Structure 1
Amino acid sequence: MTEPAKFKIVLGDSNSLKLTLPSGIPKSIEEFKFEIRKQCGVTGDFRLQYLDTDFDDFLNLTSTVDLQDKGTVKVVAHSAYDVCSLSSADTDIRSSTSSPSPSCLSVSPTTSDVASASTSELSSSTKLRSETWPTNFLIPKFPYEVDLELQKAHEEFLKDGTSLNIDTKPKLKSEILKSLAAEVVKYKVYPRIEEYEEIAKALITKHPCLQEKGSVGGFYGWKISLQWKMANYRRTLRAAGCSEVKINSLKHKHGENTSPNQVKKPKKAEVNFYPDYPAGENKQSLEEERLALLSEVQKRDNHQIIKHKMEKTFVYRRHEVIEEMPFIVDFKSRWPALFCEHEIAAEFTRITTVPLIQTFMSKLDGYTSKLASIYQRKGGIAGRKIWKLMATIDENDTISTRRACILRALSVYLNEDYENLMKEYADTDFENAERDMANTVIGLYIIRPEDAEACDPPSDVGLIVEGVKVLQNIGDVTKACALLLGVIYSLNLSYPSDLKYTFEFFQKVLLGLDAQKLSHKIQVLKNKLVG
């Protein structure tokens, strides 16, 4: 029998509630958020942060694996700094936006609220998405008149099993599809076929009266209708000036050496692939911020200023990467502040909402023992290579060595060559190393003393893109792998074809991005990991 789980839910300053889940820790974040809405009276869009015991700080909740019984979870509003909530025991309703949300009451912000968040930060935060595609898509609340018709149809369905003939009610169908489309664009404007199917299934599950007796699964017609509705809805968004759709218009592409059918859209689960400019900002104003940023990089001890300006210019930088696809040499000279460890990690989080280093390391550590066990059962030439790589752990069983060995062996297990990812050089062979790195398209380099053993720590670890050293002195091979993924996302690069399964494992298994769609090889490995 599952033990009940209890949580402290922090809704704002001096406003927290106790949440009890009789069935234990939920399997998905969406289920957890549903219970918070239900038991705590929270309305509107929000994300969750959990109190991490390692760092003694709140971190973004990306998986319910991070939840612990009697843990503390903070509710963070998407478009406000405090969540609008209403409970029978306590009414503490706040909003940091200038206009009240229709779904909740609001009061004017205090002076301290305004001082803690500048207008530009508010504008920037409301333009970016803060959630990945949900594990279980929640059907939104429809307009009042639609709900009335569905309630009546549901009563008929319960009485004699008669489904609503939606084709006789085109206006009702249109309103349902419009509401679904508006909910979808909160996550993405170009859903995949599987996601359309997921939405259609969720629709007839919540409203059984909408099942189609003659279609596959009872939802095939809804799936096709939603695809058409989304295409029409994108035209509406383009007319409204939505950058993510506008970039793919023929007018925007005029003069480009590209096919009209080539659509620029997320391919690696980017949540903020091509966001709109913040309110009150444009290309010219953000170019001035970029020039100011170049001056700030030359100064000392001004990390907070650089961080603020990097956040403010994210959209401008993202547009430049997607539209112009610049050479790395040119882009690095324009944005030198980006090419350091913490800014690459921060850029990755802006694009995906997922903390890069913490998530990568914690998930890898969680799978380490299972991966080691799986590697032991591998036979043939690959098995012998893996055995040789893993033997390094016996010589130097530190956490950094163990992680690096696990990652090298992963590529071998997936029938890929880890040396295409990690290139090792002796510090005495400087000329050959520099020549080889200049010809490297993408990867990480490891410099070791000439007489060093494989288990000895390297003297330098860095990243190379298009023959250019983009990061140096990282010091840890595993962190370098995570940061290389961050660079790929930040520069909108494709994965190397000879390492596609290794990077797919990094992205979908370790970071949980687009984890519902796995290649057969990675799916088999994941089944072994969770089995």
Structure 2
Amino acid sequence: QLSDIQQLEVKSGAFDRRTKEVHQLHIKTCEEKGNENKMAATLRIILGEDNASKLSLPNGIPSSLEYLKEEIRRQFGLTGNFRLQYRDIEFDNEFVNLTLPSEIKDKSTVKVVYLPVESDVVSLNATLQERDDCSTPCSLADTDILSSAESTSSDSSLRSQPWPLKFQIPEFSYEVQFQLEQGNQAFLNNGTLLHPSTKLKSDILQSLASEMVKYKIYPSSAEFDNVAEALITKYPCLKEQGSVTGYYGWKISLKYKMANYRTRLRNIGCQELTINSVKEKRSGMGPGPNQVKKPRKAEVNFCPDYPPGETKESLEEERKALLLEVKKKNNDQLIKRKMEKTFAYRRQEIIKDMPFIAEVKNRWPALFSETEVVAEFTRITMVPLLSTFMAKLDHYADHLRVFKKKGGTAKRNINLIMAAMDGECILVYLD
């Protein structure tokens, strides 16, 4: 509320006139400060190595960073995206990213840092992919580019993930999908089960087999159960009468379909299946014809095919080049690329020929380094080795304490180990 004196001043007009005068003085002061800020400024712009120019700003340094970048584009004819850096006196005049124009002043030095565009990265990938014989160390940025380029060329024949926890039924053809949706609707309305025709059942099994091969050539019995159960869960109209599970008949039919599908893939040259052909086993010196070479544990890429465009001869040349690269220093990234490229060749050699460890070490010395042991494990199983190992170690560490009940020398040794674990001083040695 206004006091009596203030009310009197308002009525007489004195308070209003004084407020207006003060306000006008405030506006005048702000305009003078604005004119000072809009004084012409000049910046030194570094456009590249041995390339610097002067940027004239008649109206002063813009209040927005985007306006400043637009002015640089206009005066120097720059295109594309870039960021700006300036010399910060708090860091011994080293360049740091410019986030606010107020961080610079007249006569400051500003550096233009060009950001790569997608087309540049693609062309750079193609260039680097052709330079397989490069022996210079690669930077971290080059590492990412080389890895992506290599995975495009070599990983197309590899599986990218293990068997899913919950199998997803694929989309069938329009004809099959239409019949299944009608059957589901009838089942929901009155509980009527669908009795698929021979062709419809064959089409369903064919689609399921094609989807299963993306994860495994030789699914286990439990995995057949997963697929059959997922089928009747999505399409309950396909449940079987008289079956305890409701899908036992589908499971058996799916096993036969997978066997026929493997035969077709073997006939067209799928390496994961040709290694088990009778002709291959008779010509080789391996085990008997009844022993099937297939994944036994968690292998996702057990025996992959060669990368597109590669042959046994070309990959053998890569292996010979790899023998020279392992003798050089600071060459890890190039070795990694070549090991990824020759992965299928190496797996087929190990599975088909079953060489001794000494022979493998002689032909693939890079495989016995710590880095490549971890990388090869991931290529085969698609599981990161170190992080998985550490997580499991943390999970089961408490169970190791039961061994503390032992006596004698064993107890003393275990106590030393547990003391180190309690102090979070676990040392893991990878030979």
More helix by percentage: 2
Identity %: 53
1:131 maps to: 161
Q: Under a length normalisation based on structure 1, what TM-score does the superposition of the two structures give?
A: 0.52
Separation in structure 2 between the aligned mates of residue 210 and residue 303 of structure 1, nearest angstrom: 54
Separation in structure 1 between the aligned mates of residue 163 and residue 408 of structure 2, nearest angstrom: 40
1:39 maps to: none
1:301 maps to: 330
Letter in 1 for 2:180: L
Q: Which has the higher contact order (CA 8 A, sep 6+)?
A: 2
1:289 maps to: 318
Instruction: Tell me the alpha carbon deviations over residues 378-403 of structure 1, each in whole angstroms, 9 at most, x when there is no partner.
Output: x7xx68887544311465456676x5
Letter in 2 for 1:139: I
Separation in structure 1 between the aligned mates of residue 172 and residue 341 of structure 2, nearest angstrom: 35
2:345 maps to: 316
Q: Which of 286, 291, 294 is matched with 1:265 structurally?
A: 294
Separation in structure 1 between the aligned mates of residue 407 and residue 169 of structure 2, nearest angstrom: 48
SS in 1 for 2:283: coil
Q: Which of 113, 116, 119 is matched with 1:110 structurally?
A: 119
Q: Under a length normalisation based on structure 2, what TM-score does the superposition of the two structures give?
A: 0.63
| Cα shift at 1:295 | 0.9
1:153 maps to: 183
Instruction: Tell me the alpha carbon deviations over residues 299-356 of structure 1, each in whole angstroms, 9 at most, x when there is no partner.
Output: 1221111111111111111111101111111111111111110111100000001111
Tell me if the contact between 1:332 and 1:339 (Cα under 8 Å) persists in the aligned partners: yes
Alignment of 1:228-377 (within 5 A): 228-257=256-285, 258-369=287-398, 371-372=399-400, 375=403
Separation in structure 2 between the aligned mates of residue 314 and residue 201 of structure 1, nearest angstrom: 35
Separation in structure 2 between the aligned mates of residue 315 and residue 336 of structure 1, nearest angstrom: 17
Q: Which of 143, 165, 170 is matched with 2:173 structurally?
A: 143
The reply on whether 1:392 has 2:416 as its aligned counterpart is yes
Larger Rg: 2
Separation in structure 1 between the aligned mates of residue 260 and residue 204 of structure 2, nearest angstrom: 14
Alignment of 1:404-443 (within 5 A): none
Extract unaligned runs of 5+ from structure 2: 1-117, 130-148
Extract unaligned runs of 5+ from structure 1: 1-108, 404-475, 484-531
Tell me if the contact between 1:348 and 1:356 (Cα under 8 Å) persists in the aligned partners: yes
Instruction: Tell me the alpha carbon deviations over residues 241-263 of structure 1, each in whole angstroms, 9 at most, x when there is no partner.
Output: 21111111112222234322211
Give the superposed CA RMSD.
2.3
1:469 maps to: none
SS in 2 for 1:132: coil
2:195 maps to: 165
Separation in structure 1 between the aligned mates of residue 243 and residue 408 of structure 2, nearest angstrom: 52
SS in 2 for 1:218: coil
1:190 maps to: 218
Instruction: Tell me the alpha carbon deviations over residues 350-377 of structure 1, each in whole angstroms, 9 at most, x when there is no partner.
Output: 00011111210122123323x245556x
Tell me if the contact between 1:357 and 1:479 (Cα under 8 Å) persists in the aligned partners: no
Instruction: Tell me the alpha carbon deviations over residues 54-87 of structure 1, each in whole angstroms, 9 at most, x when there is no partner.
Output: xxxxxxxxxxxxxxxxxxxxxxxxxxxxxxxxxx
1:212 maps to: 240
Query: Residues 387 and 162 of structure 1: is their aligned pair in 2 closer, same or farther, counting only changes over 3 Å?
Result: farther
Separation in structure 2 between the aligned mates of residue 383 and residue 214 of structure 1, nearest angstrom: 59
Query: Residues 163 and 399 of structure 1: is their aligned pair in 2 closer, same or farther, counting only changes over 3 Å?
Result: farther
SS in 1 for 2:245: helix
Instruction: Tell me the alpha carbon deviations over residues 237-291 of structure 1, each in whole angstroms, 9 at most, x when there is no partner.
Output: 1122211111111122222343222110000110000000000111100000011
Separation in structure 2 between the aligned mates of residue 333 and residue 272 of structure 1, nearest angstrom: 23
Letter in 1 for 2:177: D
The reply on whether 1:202 has 2:230 as its aligned counterpart is yes
2:91 maps to: none
1:430 maps to: none
Tell me if the contact between 1:204 and 1:219 (Cα under 8 Å) persists in the aligned partners: yes
Tell me if the contact between 1:375 and 1:383 (Cα under 8 Å) persists in the aligned partners: no
Letter in 1 for 2:314: S
